[in-house]
Structure 1
Amino acid sequence: MSASQEYFEEKEKIDFLLYQGYQITRVSENLDGAAVEFERTGATNQEREVLLLQTADARKYFSSIMFHQQKNLTPAE
């Protein structure tokens, strides 16, 4: 599989979880890639999903999402 195809598949998984209301809560990086933890708080329980992202482009993509999530959580100045 080509690197661009792998990236698009990983990006699609990230986008799907975000669309479902998940937010990135934790990242653990190693030589195999990045394990990105997503959490969604529902009315009755908290749900968690973990994705292993191996492509550099997918890791850049989730980094930009994390930046925007953090920016939206900080108080306005």
Structure 2
Amino acid sequence: MSEYQEFLSERDKIDFLLQKGFRIEKVTENLSGAFVVFKHTENKRSATLHIKTANARKYFSNLLIQS
């Protein structure tokens, strides 16, 4: 998969979780990317995404700054 396709896939996963009512709770960066923990606002469920591409990391960073 090309890096651009991988970015689109990661961006879609982030957008899907945000549309379902999840909010970014915690970000852990390391050499292999970032682990982003999402927590649902109502029922306290959580989901974790491993974000590998630099563009997707910039994308969720901008979302954090906007909120």
**Superposed pair shares fold, TM > 0.5:** yes
Letter in 2 for 1:32: S
Match of 1:21 in 2: 21
Aligned residues: 67
**What TM-score do you get using the length of structure 1 for normalisation?**
0.84
> What's the RMSD between the two structures over aligned residues?
0.7
Larger Rg, first or second structure (1 or 2)? 1
**What TM-score do you get using the length of structure 2 for normalisation?**
0.96
Match of 1:53 among 38, 51, 54: 51
Structure 2 unaligned blocks of 5 or more: none
State the structure with bigger RCO (CA 8 A, min sep 6), 1 or 2.
2
Structure 1 unaligned blocks of 5 or more: 70-77
Measured in 1, the distance between the counterparts of 2:56 and 2:63 equals: 11
| Pairwise CA distance, 1:39 | 0.5
Counterpart mapping for 1:1-77 below 5 A: 1-42=1-42, 45-69=43-67
Measured in 2, the distance between the counterparts of 1:18 and 1:58 equals: 14
Identity %: 48
Shift >3 Å, 4+ stretches: none
